[in-house]
Amino acid sequence: MPQVKIGVLISGSGTNLQSLIDYIEKGTIKGIIKVVISNRKDAYGLERAEKYKIDAVYIRQKDYESFEAFNNAIIDELKAHDVELVVLAGYLKILTPKFIGEYKNRIINIHPSLIPAFCGKGYYGIKVHEEVINYGVKISGATVHFVDEEADTGPIIIQEAVEVADDDTAESLQAKVLKIEHKILPLAVKYYCEGKIQIEGRKVIIKE
């Protein structure tokens, strides 16, 4: 089976990107990252990509006359690298309907809560964990899902939970959840690259 060509979109330090790189380097994922794209010039994830000789591209929204044109530029870059699977690894922009249509059921996102709790518009980064702590729930976690036209509503691939301790802060919970993210995002990409993922309506079946 040929390697699946992967494009990764980031906005920050790229620790989830690093987890993907590590799994690929070990041969666990039958894929290759062809390009890493960031909407932020100072995103450390771009340096991570360059370290592994992966094409690292900064695309600035302000350079385009519209949000649609900005997204089209990202699509063009992905197509130039023959990308088959798009992974959002801490990418903090929404995608246009055209983008989602171009890569239907081929865009994977990681979210730092157990969807459908603490997700949707405005729920990203540390804010998710602040809301979890404020609400007083006993369990949180992370979710890997396919991306559709709404925020955090696509079919769920993998979820894993962590206990929310009485003395947890948003920062300590974030650290716990990040450990899970670094495990389940590469696992979902592994399953995809091996052709083990089957979508039936809202349900994702992982084939043996």
pLDDT, averaged in runs of 10, over the chain (208 residues): 94 97 97 98 97 98 97 98 97 95 97 97 95 98 96 96 98 98 98 97 94
Residue 111 known to be catalytic: yes
- Do 142 and 74 lie in one domain? The reply is no
User: Taking the C-alpha atoms of 132, 135, 137 and 140 in order, what is their torsion angle to the nearest 10 degrees?
Assistant: -10
- Do 98 and 141 lie in one domain? The reply is no
pLDDT at 208: 83
- Do 72 and 134 lie in one domain? The reply is no
Q: Which residue is catalytic, options 111, 129, 145, 182?
A: 111
pLDDT at 194: 97
Rounded Cα distance, 137 and 46, in Å: 35
pLDDT at 2: 87
pLDDT at 32: 98
- Do 11 and 85 lie in one domain? The reply is yes
- Do 99 and 16 lie in one domain? The reply is yes
Q: CA–CA distance from 162 to each of 117, 136, 144 (Å)? A: 14, 14, 15
- Do 18 and 77 lie in one domain? The reply is yes
**Residue 46 sits in which domain range?**
1-103
Give the CATH number, domain containing residue 93.
3.40.50.170
pLDDT at 126: 96
Q: Return the structure tokens found at 40.
A: 């932020």
pLDDT at 138: 98
- Do 117 and 89 lie in one domain? The reply is no
pLDDT at 143: 98
Domain count, the chain: 2
Residue of 183, 23, 190, 176 whose CA lies nearest to 113: 176
The answer to whether 153 and 111 are in contact (CB under 8 A) is no
Domain boundary at 43, 72, 103, which? Answer: 103
Q: What is the CA radius of gyration of the chain?
A: 16
- Do 95 and 5 lie in one domain? The reply is yes
- Could you tell me the pTM of the whole model? 0.96
- Do 11 and 80 lie in one domain? The reply is yes
Q: Assign residue 31 a region (left: φ > 0; alpha: ψ between -120 and 50; beta: otherwise).
A: beta
- Helix ranges (H only) for 44-154 are 44-51, 67-80, 97-102, 126-135
